[in-house]
Amino acid sequence: MCHACVIENVKTSMLSRRELFRGAASVGLASAAAGVISARPALAQSTGRVVDLTHAYDGDFPTFDGNPGILYSSQFEHDRDGYKIWELTIYEHTGTHIDAPLHFAADGASVAELDPSSLVCPLCIIDIKSKAADDPNAMLEPEDIEAFVSANGDIPQGACVAMNSGWADKLGTEGYRNDADGNFTFPGFSKAATDMLIEIGAGSIGVDTLSLDPGNSADFAVHYSWLPSGHFGIENLANLDALPVSGATLFVGAPKHKQGTGGPARVMAVI
């Protein structure tokens, strides 16, 4: 059969089945029709609203050490080669990215060794905007977790617990990283809070700032306890305001280069 004929056949077939399904559903015969049209009709695969929690980034994105987190070198160009490819130099911990256990534990899991089932999980968002507005080095504390559970119910086993400090709105200003004197200044988790999350079985944590620890941390207590305990973290999350505080499912698109200590990730949620 000619290709055009095959296409017409498939389109006609798909269309007629869709019409059948619509008709059947409208008169309450969806279950009977399901066997006729398909074992898995398209509607069964529909997903909810997708919210992208990832900042687009380039060399201007703020980094912990202040150097550009990504450099671009042209390898092939449309005009000359007919297609385009960049060679990228990437500092692992830039943009919206993962901290794997290996980042702070010599014997910890690399980003390629994270359990895939830990990368699709329930998302709980704890809002500390009010105290972060008063203290830009505010910490998410056990009391904030307690208040969240009281108001919203359990933190599911393996959930990602994300801090929403309102800091994503500061991206593009000095205030995302520094105070007026140039000192690191942003909210983070307290070690007491992440110790509590280990006890109650959370799987990962996320922050809408540059670091799991607050900007004025001298000891990186969360990095040196949470990551070596076998958990991962996500830094520089975007768009947490677009989600309910519980009920969304998080997809953590962690990179998978061997021996990686982390790296730029695509993080999305489905409501």
Which residues inside 62-121 make contact with a copy of itself, applying CB under 8 A?
Answer: 70, 72, 75, 78-79, 82-93, 95-96, 102-104, 106, 112, 116-117, 119-121
The nearest distance, CB 185 to a copy of itself, in angstroms, is 21
Query: Which of 31, 40, 66, 134 is close enough to bind a copy of itself by CB under 8 A?
Result: 40
- x/- map, 149-168, a copy of itself, by CB under 8 A: xx-xxxxxx-x---------
67 Cβ neighbours under 8 A, 6+ residues apart: 91
**Residue 267 near residue 54 (C-beta atoms within 8 A):** yes
Residue 146 touching a copy of itself (CB under 8 A): yes
Using CB under 8 A as the binding rule, the residues of this chain from 193 to 222 that contact a copy of itself are: 195-196, 199-200
Query: Which of 19, 135, 143, 174 is close enough to bind a copy of itself by CB under 8 A?
Result: 143
The nearest distance, CB 180 to a copy of itself, in angstroms, is 28
Using CB under 8 A as the binding rule, the residues of this chain from 4 to 23 that contact a copy of itself are: 6-7, 9-11, 13-14, 17-18
Instruction: Residue 62: name the closest of 177, 155, 141 by CA.
Output: 177
State the DSSP code for 54. Answer: B
What single-letter amino acid sits at 12? T
Q: Considering the complex, state which of residue 162 and residue 254 has its C-beta at the smaller distance from a copy of itself.
A: 254
User: Quick check: helix, strand or coil at residue 55?
Assistant: coil
- x/- map, 229-248, a copy of itself, by CB under 8 A: -----------------xx-
184 Cβ neighbours under 8 A, 6+ residues apart: 177, 178, 210, 211, 215, 216
Distance CA 196, CA 146 (A): 10
The nearest distance, CB 89 to a copy of itself, in angstroms, is 5
Pairing of strands 188-189, 204-207: unpaired
Size of the site for a copy of itself (CB under 8 A): 100
Query: Which of 29, 171, 268, 271 is close enough to bind a copy of itself by CB under 8 A?
Result: 268
